[in-house]
Structure 1
Amino acid sequence: MKGIQAVGTWQKLQLFYHGILGNGDKRTDSWPLVYSPVPIICIFLCYLAVIWLGPKIMARRQPLNLKAVLIVYNFLMVGLSAYMFYEFTASSWLARYSLLCQPVDYSSSSLAMRMARVCWWFYFSKVIELSDTVFFILRKKNSQLTFLHVYHHATMIFNWWAGVKYVAGGQSFLIGLINSLVHVVMYLYYGLAALGPHMSRYLWWKRYLTSLQLLQFITVTAHTAYNLYDDCDFPDSMNVVVLAYSLSLIVLFSNFYYRSYVAKKQGKDA
């Protein structure tokens, strides 16, 4: 009897997995890291392994001098983020996207494919950004490996795998557009900081960068909540996931902002 139940459970899992594979956007299925969740799960597991083993391996070693690598990496990320911001803006504008409620265009028209492609690039950029964590470990900046940092980087790759797999376009474009703009500013800050200590006097605006990050999550939360309320022709399951995720980031970034700026200022004034 137990054997029959086990077979039944296994068949259900197989059907569920094949449903995940077969119900995606056919336009993006053949693109790298999209058709199956297995590759991105493997990347995630490698990421966790690096976080666990990396500090142990570096414990008895000197931190690496990655100045040149960080300068190149950060400014390349500025360029990639600027490109994605332009593509999200141009694609949505030319396709006359609605800011309030925009269904996914699953056609193979040039504009629909242009939007799908920039969604893929945005997803792939989240894989590239896992390098941020590797650089922290190699430079022995382990204090930067906070729950917020790991949670945000690890979950974004899954969120946008699902985005490109099922909803490559539509109202999800606004998330990519806003986040790309924020990352232009963020990687510009990190790129300038990597140039050396002499740049510190020009980097007084770090606090405002955190405020900008918080503002994006508040905007995404409001936008997603409106779409749930308005019953937009966009999967409610995606909206619920985005809403819950953006709320979690508001809580985590608000806590970071308080500890980094408010509590420290209060401590100095005491």
Structure 2
Amino acid sequence: MVSLGYISEIWNKYEDPRTAGKFLMENPPTRFFGFIISYVLFIHFGPTLMKKRKPFELKLVKSVYNIFQIVINGYYGLYGLYYVFLTHNYNYSCPSLAIGNDEYAQTIAHLGHIYFLSKLWDLFDTIFIILKKNDRQLSFLHCYHHMFMAFATYFIMKFYIDTSFCLVAVINALIHSCMYFYYFLTTQNSEVKKSITWKKHITHIQMLQFTVLSIHFLRPVFNTECNRPKVWDIFMSLQILFILYMFIQFYIKTYLVKKNSNKKKF
């Protein structure tokens, strides 16, 4: 059995010194994994515990939460866009690893850590779903997407933070800012929540996001002059394509199949 001491030794040996010691980046990674295990247990037991209880009224809590998400994602996305892509020469066909102690590399690591924490904050979406007993929203796609983003950002921050990850973070943050603006509107106006158009557009931009990011990670793979680790880019592109596939399946099931079934009723 692998001991915590062995894991800590591996973590210390290969960790990125720029993120060592930051919040939830400590060795051994007991606090991070404890957080994730608690999340998984709540997903498993939460619906059962809520079965005989009334749904929680979380309008005020969700409104504050959504506003915070709009602000933090909007700020991060715009600042990251300006700093990483507008003030520096970003190479889209072979992104820089940005490894070192210079200001640029340190800023990349700092921005990445903020993004990592925001992905843990996103897990509260699942908690709200369970507390409000919206079981239909508790899908495999929802849980997998949130879990993957939490794990991926943790390991990237711990071992391999580079500029290509910043592109993921910037695009994702800007889209999340729009998405949480929609969620905020639904807490204020029930008619917005009933609008299929809003939901479809949110799904459209999410699918567009994963399409762009999958292409972005595949470009260095086919660039023979790029010396980035190919295995890493292939892994990320495959994971993103898998999530895109699930979003497409969700889109077909939610908007195309239901639309056709409604037509047949008439």
TM-score for the superposition, normalised by structure 2 = 0.91
Deviation at 1:10, TM superposition (A): 5.7
In the alignment, the residues of structure 2 paired with residue 186 and residue 202 of structure 1 have an alpha-carbon distance, to the nearest angstrom, of: 14
Q: Retained in 1: the 8 A contact 2:141–2:246? A: yes
Q: Structure 2 stretches of 5 or more lacking a match?
A: none
1:40 aligns with 2:32: yes
In the alignment, the residues of structure 1 paired with residue 119 and residue 7 of structure 2 have an alpha-carbon distance, to the nearest angstrom, of: 26
Q: What residue is the counterpart of 1:50 in the other structure?
A: 42
Within the candidate set 228, 234, 253, 2:247 is matched to 253
Q: What residue is the counterpart of 2:135 in the other structure?
A: 142
Q: Retained in 2: the 8 A contact 1:21–1:35? A: no
Q: Structure 1 stretches of 5 or more lacking a match?
A: 1-8
Q: Deviation digits for residues 183-238 of structure 1, max 9, x if unmatched? A: 01111110110113144577732201101101111111111111111153333332
Q: Retained in 1: the 8 A contact 2:98–2:104? A: no
Q: Retained in 2: the 8 A contact 1:103–1:233? A: no
Deviation at 1:40, TM superposition (A): 2.2
CA-atom RMSD, angstroms? 2.0
Deviation at 1:14, TM superposition (A): 6.3
Within the candidate set 222, 225, 230, 2:215 is matched to 222
In the alignment, the residues of structure 2 paired with residue 196 and residue 58 of structure 1 have an alpha-carbon distance, to the nearest angstrom, of: 26
Deviation at 1:107, TM superposition (A): 2.2
Within the candidate set 177, 189, 193, 2:170 is matched to 177
Identity within the alignment, %: 27
Deviation at 1:19, TM superposition (A): 2.6
Q: Retained in 2: the 8 A contact 1:40–1:157? A: no
After alignment, is 27-36 or 141-150 more displaced? 27-36
Deviation at 1:248, TM superposition (A): 0.8
CA gap 1:103/1:233 in 2 versus in 1, 3 angstroms:
farther
Within the candidate set 24, 27, 33, 2:18 is matched to 27
In the alignment, the residues of structure 1 paired with residue 8 and residue 88 of structure 2 have an alpha-carbon distance, to the nearest angstrom, of: 34
Q: What residue is the counterpart of 1:61 in the other structure?
A: 53
1:213 aligns with 2:206: yes
Q: What residue is the counterpart of 1:166 in the other structure?
A: 159
Deviation at 1:168, TM superposition (A): 2.1
Deviation at 1:22, TM superposition (A): 1.6
Within the candidate set 220, 229, 238, 1:235 is matched to 229
Q: What residue is the counterpart of 2:112 in the other structure?
A: 119
In the alignment, the residues of structure 1 paired with residue 77 and residue 87 of structure 2 have an alpha-carbon distance, to the nearest angstrom, of: 14
AA at the equivalent of 2:79: E
Q: What residue is the counterpart of 1:98 in the other structure?
A: 91
In the alignment, the residues of structure 2 paired with residue 200 and residue 126 of structure 1 have an alpha-carbon distance, to the nearest angstrom, of: 24
